[in-house]
């Protein structure tokens, strides 16, 4: 044997998975050698390292249990660098690469000496659900002492502290047949399905296809060894156009209508992945048919102290030997209730490993197994139980006896392998909403009917014999059965669920290793009235660890069933939830990070605003120019300047984000009459009108100016954020309530760039740019629209104002938006005009009492409340919202109504959202009668202005009210909503 640390447990000549090249890695800072193809677990075992982790609650020393995804002890933190660090990686799955760095978790200061291990001594206190029973008194101690203590103990590994630099991707795929699992069953199904010329995807979670065939060295299929047969099948499939083979790819979730989600890991095994290589890819596969060939998972035996490092599944020991050429010990005892453990023992014995004892739980086993054991010099004791084990950081002895307690014996070992039989993997079947059926004969759940187009074959369907599996593969693909010569197939007879001996009463017999759930904990839960398996699970946390009960569920169920004296199906099976194995958030997110989290929409004029120093504000998906600070200006000063410039000279504003809808057809006006509260019959072509839209419930939904271009054509504008839902709302009425109307709706929001020019010099600025229209005050009064040319481009020009000043809005095709804007700017700037942003726009419209839907109204405000009763055509027989507006509460007196507020101290600017009360001296909870919707400093007026929704506001004009703030009470006077140019003369200037 080699010196320690030099792969002294490597078995030469064995190992279907490993190569000859050696790689180095480190574990807890110590360097080790491994072979290419090793997993982290096999590599550590090759070096004689069994202690790989600590348990969650008791901090018990733990070694690897499994050679696959069901591992729940050997979880490690793997780091490539400070950002690429991943907690809770299963050592049994992680492939070793050159330079891999692994750290053990949940221990302090070291894995060998962990202070948290004191919990193990206190474990009698920490029984299932203990925290529900204590830490309640004194109540104050909860926040200060108990809770911080509990929270500090949380978790296993460390979350990364930096943003993940790696790339993830997504792929939608469609195929005729999707096969999950590339073992014997899956590969055979794929081979047969290809003959039907169907498109096929077959995936396997492991690096290599072959499943159990890679771990079983005895079996011969048509004269070939398992690994050889699998390799040939893969080569055959890979050569076909209609087959996609995905290794390192796990079927993680079965969703509706045969959508299976696959997680493919691409770089996790690479020593130095290319910097922009995709780390993981999510496949969302819609398949005509899904063949589930997930296999089965071996159960451990539940007996006292069954968790010491060096104790593992028999199948794991067999895999470590046959896939990786690693003997998991030199003195290995076996504890089993299933034939498969014998194959593991025999393989190990054939390599010269000493197998001192097979402790067989069953009383009767097949003669040929006994004979072969005898031949290899292995002692078998039947009808026996393991009563306990010895050792601290690794098992060093095992104590066993006959089931009646006789013939107790303790022997020295350095490993113990166990098998309680196999649990078919029903995860994906269950996720497809299939109902697993209990099979009393074999004491296991099996797939029942399939509610979707799927079929389970092989070990996950309870079919263990290879010849039968091949027959199933033929049947599920609609193929004729093929003939095969199969030799030395392994027997899977036997099995046991639940605890052995008196473990449910004595000692710590672990059911769920990671969460430290023992058979006693389950008994306690049952004793306390937890009679549903869901209660048992939640009370004890059995099955809630990172393996999601792959090892523990059946044992927990059996223990509860026995104590409840109820058959297993009556106790219930917990539901399987996606994902099958833990899956990175990154692979779900895929491309949708950073810029691609959500589209960022920018107007055609955005770049100009950016170049001219604008600050931007996000409005739904849009970025809008907020204000244009000049050097030294803060937001306040910039906005003040912009407002005053507009009012005294003019300003240019990018209104392109406004929604625009073209409403066209012979019945367009009739349709507008339905959708808007206003009347549209009298509006003449060339004129525009402000429109209000409600939902059926009578609350304001959206607003905007509508221009009538011709008898059949309206140019409708909506709020920026409202555009998509307004169009949907209109389409809904048009298609489903008024399909007989000849009207068509088209979104033109992005066809047009919209440039607002507002202020006394607005006409002077644009007049020379306009061709084909007389825009004089007489010919083109306020609320007009004309199709003309601006800067030589076909344009829709509106005479319209949201500032209260003389104003125009120029709509030009978007690709010309910036050029036209620059032409306007070239005229505007020399005249002393400015570019202004949304904030100045907000101030100026508030000075005029123009509302912003969504700010001065919310979904509880009617047009009447908002002071817009003039916009309701009461004589119309019908419009959307007419009936809703007649409901008692909407007609009641004293509703909140939009009014203006003037602070008694004009320099005081109210906070938007500030609540208004009539009597601020009342105790809390204080009666609130309204709140401030908009509030600004008006530089033009030299005082603050505000709009507010106030109960019975219209009748309170002139009265004093109060805004109680955290540190003061602000007195206000209720006013009308128009603060500036109350007669509205400037509009017509």
Partner 1 sequence: MAKANVATRDNPTSGNRLANASVSIESAPPASRISFRATPKGAKDFGKTLDLDLPVKPGQSTSKSTLSALWIGPDEWLIIDTKNPIDKLMPRRENANFCATDISHRNVAFIVSGNGAENTLCASCPRDLSLSAFPVGSASRTIFGKAEVVLLRTGKTSFRLECWRSFSPYVWDLLVDGAHDAHI
Partner 2 sequence: MRNFNALNLAREALRGHKGWGQQWRNPEPKKSYDVIIVGAGGHGLGTAYYLAKEHGVKNIAVLEKGWLGGGNTGRNTTIIRSNYLYDESAGLYNHALNLWENLSQELNYNVMFSQRGVMMLAHNVHDVQSAQRHIHANRLNGVDNEWLTPQQAKDYCPPLNISKSSRYPVMGAALQRRGGVARHDAVAWGYARQASAMGVDIIQNCEVTGINRATSGEVTGVETTKGPIGAKQVGIVAAGHTSVLMEMAGVQMPLESYPLQALVSEPVKPVFPCVAMSNAVHAYISQSDKGELVIGAGTDSYLSYSQTGSMHILQHTLDAIIELYPMFNRMKMLRTWGGIVDVTPDRSPILAKTPVKGLYVNCGWGTGGFKATPGSANVFAHTIAKDEPHSINAGFTLERFRNGRLIDEAAAAAVAH
Partner 3 sequence: MLVIHCPYCQADRPELEFANAGEAHIVRPDNMAEMTDAEFEKMFFVRQNPKGVNLERWRHIHGCGRFFNAIRHTVSDKFLKVYKAGESRPSDAEIAELMK
The reply on whether position 276 binds partner 1 by CB under 8 A is yes
Shorter beta-carbon distance to partner 3: residue 452 or 944: 452
The reply on whether position 173 binds partner 2 by CB under 8 A is no
The residues in 808-837 that bind partner 1, with binding defined as CB under 8 A, are 813-816, 818-820, 822-823, 826-827
The reply on whether position 887 binds partner 3 by CB under 8 A is yes
CB of 589: closest distance to partner 1 in angstroms? 12
The reply on whether position 738 binds partner 1 by CB under 8 A is no
The reply on whether position 958 binds partner 3 by CB under 8 A is no
Contact partner, 911, from partner 2, partner 3, partner 1, none, Cβ < 5-8 Å per class: partner 2
Give the 3-state secondary structure of residue 679. Answer: coil
Instruction: Supply angle C-alpha 688, 690, 692, rounded to 5.
Output: 140
The reply on whether position 752 binds partner 1 by CB under 8 A is yes
Q: Which position has the token pair 């197994």?
A: 369
Shorter beta-carbon distance to partner 3: residue 505 or 696: 696
Contact partner, 855, from partner 1, partner 2, partner 3, none, Cβ < 5-8 Å per class: partner 2
The reply on whether position 769 binds partner 1 by CB under 8 A is yes
The reply on whether position 696 binds partner 3 by CB under 8 A is yes
Shorter beta-carbon distance to partner 3: residue 564 or 589: 589
Residue 41 to residue 91: CA distance in whole angstroms? 5
Q: Which position has the token pair 């010895």?
A: 390
Q: Which stretch binds partner 3 (CB under 8 A): 74-82, 299-307, 655-663, 881-889?
A: 881-889
The residues in 266-295 that bind partner 2, with binding defined as CB under 8 A, are 284
Instruction: Supply angle C-alpha 8, 13, 18, rounded to 5.
Output: 80
User: Which distant-in-sequence residues (6+ apart) come within 8 Å of 627 by Cβ?
Assistant: 614, 615, 635, 638, 639, 642, 836, 837, 838, 839, 840
Tokens of 658: 């406004």
**Which of 461, 492, 857, 897: binder of partner 2 (CB under 8 A)?**
857
Residue 181 to residue 229: CA distance in whole angstroms? 16
Q: In what order do the strands lie in the sheet with 311-313?
A: 311-313, 415-419, 332-336, 358-360, 380-381
Tokens of 874: 């009461």
Q: What phi and psi, each to the nearest 5 degrees, are found at residue 794?
A: -60, 125
Residue 470 to residue 482: CA distance in whole angstroms? 8
The residues in 857-916 that bind partner 1, with binding defined as CB under 8 A, are none
The reply on whether position 475 binds partner 2 by CB under 8 A is no
The reply on whether position 121 binds partner 2 by CB under 8 A is no
The reply on whether position 171 binds partner 1 by CB under 8 A is yes
DSSP, residue by residue, 488-536: SPPP--B---SB-TTTTTSS-BEEETTTTEEHHHHHHHHHTT--SHHHH
CB of 406: closest distance to partner 2 in angstroms? 25
The reply on whether position 742 binds partner 1 by CB under 8 A is yes
**Which ranges of 18-96 does DSSP label H, i.e. alpha helix?**
40-46
Shorter beta-carbon distance to partner 2: residue 74 or 413: 74
Q: How many residues sit in the footprint of partner 1 (CB under 8 A)?
A: 60
**Which of 666, 859, 894, 984: binder of partner 1 (CB under 8 A)?**
666
Q: Which position has the token pair 């491309």?
A: 591
The reply on whether position 108 binds partner 2 by CB under 8 A is no
The reply on whether position 914 binds partner 2 by CB under 8 A is yes
Shorter beta-carbon distance to partner 1: residue 179 or 766: 766
Contact partner, 954, from partner 2, partner 3, partner 1, none, Cβ < 5-8 Å per class: none
Are the C-beta atoms of residues 288 and 199 closer than 8 Å to each other?
no
Tokens of 831: 């005249």
Q: How many residues sit in the footprint of partner 3 (CB under 8 A)?
A: 25
**Which ranges of 592-722 does DSSP label H, i.e. alpha helix?**
606-611, 635-648, 668-675
Give the 3-state secondary structure of residue 938. Answer: strand
CB of 665: closest distance to partner 1 in angstroms? 6
The reply on whether position 531 binds partner 2 by CB under 8 A is yes
User: What is the bridge-based pairing of β-strands 659-664 and 744-747?
Assistant: antiparallel
Long-range pairs of 36-39 with CB within 8 A, sequence gap ≥ 24: 36/96, 37/95, 37/207, 37/324, 38/95, 38/96, 38/324, 39/67, 39/91, 39/92, 39/93, 39/94, 39/95, 39/96, 39/324
The reply on whether position 288 binds partner 1 by CB under 8 A is no
**Which of 5, 165, 223, 451: binder of partner 3 (CB under 8 A)?**
451
Are the C-beta atoms of residues 477 and 516 closer than 8 Å to each other?
no
Positions touching partner 1 (CB under 8 A) are 167, 169-174, 199, 276, 278, 281, 284, 286, 590-592, 595-596, 598-604, 622, 662, 664-666, 710, 712-713, 742, 744, 746-752, 768-771, 791-793, 813-816, 818-820, 822-823, 826-827
Positions touching partner 3 (CB under 8 A) are 255-257, 259, 284, 286, 433, 451, 696-697, 728, 731-732, 735-737, 739, 877-878, 882-884, 886-888
């Amino acid at each position: 044997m080699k010196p320690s640390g030099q792969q002294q447990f490597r078995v030469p000549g064995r190992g279907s998975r490993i190569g000859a090249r050696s790689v180095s890695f480190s574990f807890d800072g110590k360097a080790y050698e491994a072979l290419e193809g090793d997993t982290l677990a096999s590599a550590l075992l090759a070096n004689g390292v069994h202690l790989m982790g600590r348990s969650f609650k008791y901090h018990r020393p733990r070694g690897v249990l499994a050679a696959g995804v069901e591992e729940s002890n050997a979880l490690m933190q793997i780091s490539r660098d400070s950002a690429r660090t991943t907690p809770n990686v299963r050592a049994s799955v992680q492939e070793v690469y050159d330079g891999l760095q692994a750290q053990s978790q949940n221990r302090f200061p070291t894995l060998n000496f962990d202070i948290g291990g004191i919990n193990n001594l206190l474990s009698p206190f920490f029984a299932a659900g203990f925290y529900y029973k204590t830490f309640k008194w004194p109540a104050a101690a909860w926040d200060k002492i108990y809770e911080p203590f509990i929270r500090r103990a949380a978790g296993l590994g460390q979350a990364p502290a930096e943003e993940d630099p790696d790339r993830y991707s997504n792929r939608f795929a469609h195929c005729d047949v999707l096969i999950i699992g590339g073992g014997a069953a899956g590969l055979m199904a794929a081979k047969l399905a290809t003959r039907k010329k169907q498109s096929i995807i077959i995936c396997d979670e492991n690096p290599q296809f072959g499943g159990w065939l890679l771990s079983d060295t005895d079996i011969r299929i048509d004269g070939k060894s398992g690994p050889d047969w699998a390799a040939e099948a893969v080569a055959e499939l890979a050569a076909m156009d209609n087959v996609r083979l995905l290794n390192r790819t796990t079927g993680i979730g079965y969703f509706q209508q045969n959508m299976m989600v696959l997680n493919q890991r691409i770089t996790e095994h690479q020593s130095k992945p290319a910097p922009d290589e995709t780390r993981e890819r999510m496949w969302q596969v819609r398949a005509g048919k899904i063949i589930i060939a997930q296999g089965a998972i071996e159960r451990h035996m539940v007996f006292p102290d069954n968790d010491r490092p060096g104790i593992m599944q028999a199948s794991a020991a067999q895999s470590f030997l046959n896939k990786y050429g690693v003997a998991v010990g030199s003195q290995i005892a076996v504890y089993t209730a299933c034939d498969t453990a014998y194959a593991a023992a025999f393989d190990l014995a054939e390599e010269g490993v000493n197998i001192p004892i097979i402790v067989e739980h069953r009383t009767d086993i097949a003669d040929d197994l006994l004979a072969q054991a005898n031949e290899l010099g292995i002692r078998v004791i039947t009808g026996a139980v393991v009563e306990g084990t010895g050792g601290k950081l690794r098992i060093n002895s095992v104590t066993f006896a006959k089931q009646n307690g006789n013939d107790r014996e303790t022997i020295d070992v350095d490993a113990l392998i166990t098998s309680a039989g196999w649990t078919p993997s029903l995860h994906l079947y269950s996720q497809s909403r299939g109902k697993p059926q209990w099979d009393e004969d074999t004491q296991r759940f099996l797939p029942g009917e399939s509610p979707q187009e799927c079929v389970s074959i092989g070990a996950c369907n309870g079919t263990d014999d290879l010849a039968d599996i091949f027959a199933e593969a033929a049947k599920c693909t609609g193929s004729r059965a093929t003939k095969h010569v199969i030799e030395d197939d392994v027997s899977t007879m036997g099995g046991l669920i639940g605890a052995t001996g008196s473990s449910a009463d004595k000692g710590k017999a672990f059911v769920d290793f990671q969460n430290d759930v023992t058979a006693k904990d389950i008994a306690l839960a049952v004793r306390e009235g937890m009679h549903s398996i869901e209660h048992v699970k939640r009370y004890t946390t059995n099955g809630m660890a990172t393996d999601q009960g792959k090892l523990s569920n059946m044992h927990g169920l059996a223990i509860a069933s026995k104590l409840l004296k109820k058959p297993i199906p009556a106790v219930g099976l917990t539901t399987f939830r996606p994902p099958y194995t833990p899956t990175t958030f990154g692979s779900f997110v895929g491309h949708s990070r950073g810029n691609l989290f959500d589209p960022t929409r920018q107007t055609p004029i955005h770049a100009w605003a950016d170049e001219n120093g604008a600050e931007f504000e996000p409005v739904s998906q849009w970025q809008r120019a907020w204000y244009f600070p000049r050097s030294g200006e803060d937001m306040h000063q910039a906005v003040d300047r912009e407002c005053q410039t507009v009012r005294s000279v003019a300003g240019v504003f990018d209104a392109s984000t406004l929604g625009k809808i073209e409403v066209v057809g012979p019945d367009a006006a009739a349709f507008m009459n339905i959708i808007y509260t206003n009347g549209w019959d009298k509006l003449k072509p060339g004129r525009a009108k402000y429109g209000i839209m409600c939902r059926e419930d009578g609350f304001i939904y959206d607003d905007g100016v509508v221009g009538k271009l011709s008898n059949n054509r309206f140019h409708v504008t909506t709020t920026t954020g409202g555009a998509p839902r307004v169009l949907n709302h209109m389409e809904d009425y048009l298609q489903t309530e008024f399909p007989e109307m000849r009207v068509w709706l088209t979104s033109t929001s992005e066809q047009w760039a919209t440039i607002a020019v507002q202020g006394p010099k607005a006409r002077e600025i644009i007049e020379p740019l306009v061709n084909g229209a007389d825009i004089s005050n007489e010919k083109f009064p306020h609320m007009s629209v004309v199709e003309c040319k601006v800067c030589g481009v076909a344009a829709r020009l509106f005479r319209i104002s949201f500032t209260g000043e003389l104003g125009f809005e120029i709509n030009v095709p978007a690709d010309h938006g910036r050029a036209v804007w620059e032409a306007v700017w070239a005229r505007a700037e020399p005249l002393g005009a400015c570019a202004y942003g949304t904030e100045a726009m907000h101030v100026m419209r508030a000075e005029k009492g123009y509302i912003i839907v969504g700010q001065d109204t919310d979904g509880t405000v009617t047009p009447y409340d908002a002071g817009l009763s003039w916009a309701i055509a009461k004589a119309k027989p019908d419009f959307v919202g007419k009936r809703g507006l007649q409901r008692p509460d909407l007609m009641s007196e004293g509703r909140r109504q939009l009014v203006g507020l003037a602070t008694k101290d004009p320099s005081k600017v109210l906070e938007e959202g500030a609540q208004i009360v009539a009597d601020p001296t009342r105790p809390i909870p204080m009666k609130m009668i309204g709140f401030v919707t908009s509030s600004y400093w008006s530089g033009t007026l030299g005082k603050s202005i505000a709009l507010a929704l106030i109960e019975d506001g219209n009748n309170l004009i002139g009265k004093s009210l109060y805004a109680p703030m955290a540190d003061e009470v602000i007195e206000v006077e209720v006013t009308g909503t128009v603060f500036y140019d109350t007669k509205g003369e400037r509009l017509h200037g």
